[in-house]
Amino acid sequence: MHVRLLGPRHPTAAFSILSAAGCLRVMGEHERALELYDKALDLRIESLGSTHPLTLVALNGKATCLVGLAQAAEAEQLYKEILPIREATLGHKHPDTLQTVSQSIAGAALLL
């Protein structure tokens, strides 16, 4: 709905796109979800910058999607990119930072 009302390049459109990507990922449609994560990520980087917490939400979603596509090594690289930014901007004990630590450990376990 945001995309239709505000236009496809509006920063709020990324919220709707991420919601759709999350739904597709949960339904097991990882390829389609990955396309939407990339689209939302581009919007967030363009409007908010690469280190904004909302941009990192999109990047984290993409990493999670990559795990679902059995691309754990690529996901692990994204988690390694996300973690230091979240630690610096949100702190070590913030739930989003801890989520990234957990997902990174789970992703690394898949590489064993």
Contact indicator for 34, 22 with CB cutoff of 8 Å? no
pTM: 0.86
| Domains along the chain with CATH numbers | 2-110 (1.25.40.10)
Q: What does the alpha-carbon distance between residue 83 and residue 88 come to, in Å, rounded to a whole number? A: 9
pLDDT the model gives residue 103: 86
Instruction: Give the pLDDT confidence of 58-107 residue by residue, as tens digits.
Output: 999 999 999 999 998 999 999 999 999 999 999 999 999 999 888 888 77
Average pLDDT over residues 7-34: 90
> At 71, is the secondary structure helix, strand, or coil?
coil
